[in-house]
Amino acid sequence: MAVKNENKDKLNFALGPENYKLLAIGFAIIVAGFLLMLGGKSEDPNEFSDKIFSFRRITLAPIVVLIGFIFEIWAIMKKPGDSSNKPE
């Protein structure tokens, strides 16, 4: 009889499932930051609109995007939890 080796049957991913969830959250934060940058156009193309210089577009949105990228780096660098070493 052949004995199955559980380690060979298990797929070896570079990151754990928790890391992929954190990457998805970081991606959502980045998308939210870019969505905050939307808008501010003028109704008349011949007129300049000061709406593009709002706090949301100039300050808040780039900070949110930067936080998202930092979160992504942290999600990649975080060690995946090893559930096989937990005491029962």
pLDDT tens, residue order, the chain (88 aa): 555 555 555 677 788 899 999 999 999 999 999 999 998 888 888 888 888 899 999 999 999 999 999 999 999 999 876 555 455 5
Domain boundaries, the chain: 14-79
The Cα–Cα gap between 55 and 60 comes to 6
Between CA 41 and CA 19 the distance in angstroms is: 38
Predicted TM-score of the model (pTM): 0.75
Distance CA 74, CA 45 (A): 43
